[in-house]
Structure 1
Amino acid sequence: MDASSGSLSYELLAKVGEGSYGTVYKARETGDEQRTLAVKKLHIRGDASESGIPAVMIREVALLSKMRHFNHPNIVKLLDASVEAAGRNLDLTLVLEYIDQDLSTFLSKVPKSGLSHDCIKNVMLQLLRGLDFLHTNMVLHRDIKPENILVSSRGEIKIADFGLARIYTFNIALTPGVVTLWYRAPEVLLNSVYMSSVDMWSAGCILAELFLLRPLFQGYTEVQQLHKIFEVIGLPDEEDWPKDSPIPYTINLGSKGTCTNLLPNLGPDENDLLAQCLTFIPSSRISAAKALAHPFFKKH
């Protein structure tokens, strides 16, 4: 099926994903370039003039458009966007560069012997460069997880899916319930204010997963997730508990004691970077810029 979005003409090849707002297709550009594309078709139901385009969609288009001007190698590129009225509905089409797998799929194919240290460093270096770029531009991603990190056949890492991303000002009141549970920072689980450090917590979870080949904290409720976190990093002191959290401090959430060697099989540099990402106090958590200068990457 031939279609076009703004200045781009393409042929839809196959459906590759379905989400709450629409469908993602693999497509091929028609004409000279014949690039492979990802086409995200989002359907806005009802009377658009009354309800308007959902904020989550506007945000994704606005942020990707902003990012496009900088053309960062570790952020998925938005090539085109268009909106069409279809009766009472609106159809929003985003055309993005196509990357055939995400980090979750990539990890599922890794042999039991695990990833090489060089491969882990390479993935983390690119992820942190992408996060540093976003945070420098005052953008929180808020949903960093393996499914939102794309891995190209050439080993390029691209951060994708900006549906939950948000431009932030200091200590803005942000929506709880963002970030998939396993990669969610304690301050989000505790309904406290948060900053770009939420993405760094998620990056720490991903660093651990690259070594373990499984998620580090696999809770199925918010309280269970906090338990899993405190089993590894130790229960913080009461004075470090966020004052604005509706969840009271209780010693039942875990045992005291800080753990510097979070994963016993890791060397000192790996453990130090991991510990600095998985720090309970958000303001003490390492930034993406500082993480890029960490000794873990020095030999890369």
Structure 2
Amino acid sequence: MAHGASIQYEPVAEIGGGAYGTVYKARDTESGQFVALKSVRVQTDQNGLPISTVREVALLRRLEQFDHPNVVRLMDVCATQRSDQETKVTLVFEHVDQDLKTYLERVPAPGLSPDRIKDLMRQLLCGLAFLHSNRVMHRDLKPENILVTSQGQVKLADFGLARIYSCHMALTPVVVTLWYRPPEVLLQSSYATPVDIWSTGCIFAEMFRRKPLFCGESEVDQLGKIFEVIGLPPEEEWPTDVTLSRKSFPPLTARPIKDFVPEINEQGAQLLLKMLTFDPLKRISSLNALEHPYFRDEETLTETKS
């Protein structure tokens, strides 16, 4: 980790106060290009090293060597000692002008074309498959964390940061949105890479709807809204290690997904339901999602029918 970030990177504007602290757009004085700066205060061990952070950053750095087109580049990491107990770690990322949230808000009516949605989804799943194949979970996937370049390239941001930030989160009373959280996280059960697929399903639906699919106000409310769409799962699928019982929810049956996402085609609807599957073990993986008929070209689909 380099020291003395402040000289090389000159802040230009505040991009936003995320859940994790302020994000700045800055200019790299050496190359002249724009970067995004994210800083976090981390607790240090006896040797003054922010140990879990060093591990996480090493992992992000390793991913960097692959230079994946659908993942934001981590250009630099700088650490500055603030006290014996605390170090400020600044992560320097490539800067992309807009996120998917802004992109969707700016789309003129009637919204994105089906082909554009398919292209964005394919890129999003490619980035995710890359992370998952390297054992990295995003854990906080939502439209604000998905960047879209002016050329229409999708880049995943803020992956791997969930762990770096969790220690810092304890210090900040923030409301992190529940809307993209899967049932196993809402129920505080164990979780793995399928969490990101659930979030991707929510985002897939939102690309058509141009508004979120499940807008809950608490964990229980969020689960209730999910079950109104996918139905209350059977008893045998309910995780056993959770405090919230299945009996807390009304016995709802699944409704047609097209009631909620009317513009989606048949193949898209099938894929969406495979992503919005309650049981994480039955949820589709990112690699299998990319192989889904939804992503096959229309010509090949009509050929197989005739």
Q: TM-score, normalised by structure 2?
A: 0.83
CA distance in 2, matches of 1:23, 1:251: 39
2:14 aligned partner: 15
Q: Which runs of 5+ in 1 are unaligned?
A: 167-177
Written as runs of structure 1 = structure 2, the 5 A alignment for 1:81-96 is 81-87=77-83, 89-96=86-93
CA distance in 2, matches of 1:201, 1:143: 11
Whichever structure has more helix as a proportion of its residues is 2
CA distance in 1, matches of 2:252, 2:235: 12
One-letter code aligned to 1:30? T
Written as runs of structure 1 = structure 2, the 5 A alignment for 1:1-300 is 5=5, 9-19=8-18, 21-31=20-30, 33-44=31-42, 53=50, 55=52, 57-58=53-54, 60-87=56-83, 89-162=86-159, 163-164=161-162, 180-250=177-247, 252-257=249-254, 259=256, 261=258, 263-299=261-297
Over residues 13-41 of structure 1, what are the superposed CA-to-partner deviations in whole Å (9 max), with x where a residue is unaligned?
2221224554322122224x422111223
Task: For residue 248 of structure 1, report the CA deviation from its aligned partner.
Answer: 1.1
Q: Is the 8 A contact 1:43 1:91 kept in 2?
A: yes
Q: Is the 8 A contact 2:111 2:210 kept in 1?
A: yes
Change in Cα spacing, 1:210 to 1:189, as seen in structure 2 (3 Å) is same
CA distance in 2, matches of 1:22, 1:265: 37
CA distance in 2, matches of 1:161, 1:60: 12
Root-mean-square deviation (CA, aligned residues, Å) is: 2.8
Change in Cα spacing, 1:258 to 1:243, as seen in structure 2 (3 Å) is farther
Q: Is the 8 A contact 1:208 1:215 kept in 2?
A: yes
Task: For residue 70 of structure 1, report the CA deviation from its aligned partner.
Answer: 1.2
SS in 1 for 2:8: strand
CA distance in 1, matches of 2:152, 2:257: 31
Query: What is the total number of aligned residue pairs between the two structures?
Result: 284
Fraction of identical pairs, as percent: 48
Change in Cα spacing, 1:260 to 1:219, as seen in structure 2 (3 Å) is closer
CA distance in 1, matches of 2:35, 2:248: 51
Task: For residue 206 of structure 1, report the CA deviation from its aligned partner.
Answer: 0.3
Q: Is the 8 A contact 2:76 2:91 kept in 1?
A: yes
Q: Is the 8 A contact 1:102 1:150 kept in 2?
A: yes
Q: Which runs of 5+ in 2 are unaligned?
A: 165-174, 299-306
SS in 1 for 2:281: helix
One-letter code aligned to 1:113? P
